[in-house]
A = this chain, B = another copy of it.
């Protein structure tokens, strides 16, 4: 139940938060910008302001429900946290994002952090390139 998800995050259960969570769940395979979420809300005739979308997404992030990524292009994208950590490959031509996870890289990172005397809190690994998909050049949006 979504309500529990929100409540456990220490947030009041409100309509905007329910709707936004719902949209993020339905688009779990995509990575959505705040604007994307807002547009989706408009399509559903929900009277939710863009400011609220940003606020809620930021709260979700703070609560660990969602992650914010800064891919190239200035606009931040959000995705629901589904438990398993992963990194991203982004196609510079069509914008497609794929996810991956490599145990070796994770271990190397820990090793490097130790060598530098750092305690790692988080990391961001993004590979940029061309997806080589025949249909790729059709940029979305």
Q: Are B124 and A124 in contact (CB under 8 A)?
A: yes
- Return the contact of A98 from the options B72, B92, B116, B130 (Cβ within 8 A): B116
B residues less than 8 Å from A124 (CB atoms): 124-126, 128
Using C-beta atoms within 8 Å of the partner chain, give the interface range for chain A.
20 to 34
User: Is A132 engaged at the interface, CB distance under 8 Å to the other chain?
Assistant: yes
B residues less than 8 Å from A109 (CB atoms): 105, 127
- Return the contact of A128 from the options B100, B102, B122, B132 (Cβ within 8 A): B122
Q: In chain B, what residue has the closest Cβ to A112?
A: B100
Q: List the number of copies, as a whole number.
A: 2
User: Is A117 engaged at the interface, CB distance under 8 Å to the other chain?
Assistant: yes
User: Is A23 engaged at the interface, CB distance under 8 Å to the other chain?
Assistant: no
User: Is A131 engaged at the interface, CB distance under 8 Å to the other chain?
Assistant: yes
In angstroms, Cα B123 to Cα A70, docked, is 13
User: Is A1 engaged at the interface, CB distance under 8 Å to the other chain?
Assistant: no
B residues less than 8 Å from A127 (CB atoms): 109, 112-113, 118, 120, 122-123
In angstroms, Cα B104 to Cα A1, docked, is 42
Q: Are A121 and B126 in contact (CB under 8 A)?
A: no
Q: A102-B108, A118-B130 are in contact. List 8 more A-B contacts (CB 8 A).
A: A70-B70, A108-B108, A113-B129, A117-B131, A120-B127, A124-B126, A125-B125, A125-B126
